[in-house]
Amino acid sequence: MVRKLSITEWLVLINIAVYTILAIIGLSALALNQDVLVFIAQYNKFIFEQGYIWELFTALFVHFHLGHLLGNMIFLLLFGYRTEDFFEWKKYLIIYLVSGLIGNLLGLFFGPDFLSAGASGAIFGLFGSLIYPLKKESPRSLKGMIFIGVIFLIFSGVNYNVDSISHWAGFIVGLFLGKYFSKINLKKERIIPKSIKVKET
C-alpha cells in the first residue's frame, strides 16, 4: 500500500516541480534565468506597474538557484515534520501561506527594482509556530529547534541575497498563529474528553 504524502512532503514536491519547470523554460539548471523569474517571482516593478499581484503568492514557491532550493527544502523538512505534530494540515497551511505572504507584502517597501523569491519567510513561519507548543510540552526540544532556527538564519544570510524582513515577519506571524491555534486545540481537548465511559441502564 502506498503511503499518503504529508503536507510537508507535498510542499517540497511542489517547490521542486516549480524549479524544474522554470529551469527547463529558462534553459538553465544551476541558476534560474532572470528573464523568466520576473514573471513569477516577486518583481515589484511588475506588481506596481502591471498589476501582477499573483507574484506575491507564486514567489513563495520560486527559488533563485539550486543551492537556494536545496537549503530551503532541508529546513522545510526539519520544521515542517515537527509542525505536523502539533497542527492539522489546514492550520499548517494557513501558517505557511500567511507567514510567507505577509513577508512578501513588506517586501513591496523595497521599491520597484526589488526582485525576491523563496520559501524562507513561510518556513520561518513554521519555525515561529513551534515556539509556544514546544515551550509547553517539550522545553528541551525547543532548545534544539531554536538552534536549528539560528543555523537557518545564518545559512539564509550567507548563501544568497536575502530579504531579512520577510524572515522576521514570517517568524513573528508564525509565532502568533502558533500560539492562537495551540490555544484553540487546548480548548477542544477540554471540551471533548479523550475517553467517555458508557454504561447501560
Residues with catalytic annotation?
A: 120, 167
Residue 10 to residue 146: CA distance in whole angstroms? 25
> Distance of alpha carbon 20 from its chain centroid, rounded?
19
- Phi/psi class of residue 51: alpha, beta or left (left: φ > 0; alpha: ψ in -120 to 50)? left
Give me 192's grid cell: 471533548
By three-state DSSP, how is residue 5 classified?
coil
Q: Is residue 126 a contact partner of residue 173, using CB atoms and an 8 Å limit? A: no
Q: Which residues, at least 6 apart from 158, have a Cβ–Cβ distance to it below 8 Å?
A: none
* DSSP letters for 166-182: HHHHHHHHHHHHHHHHH
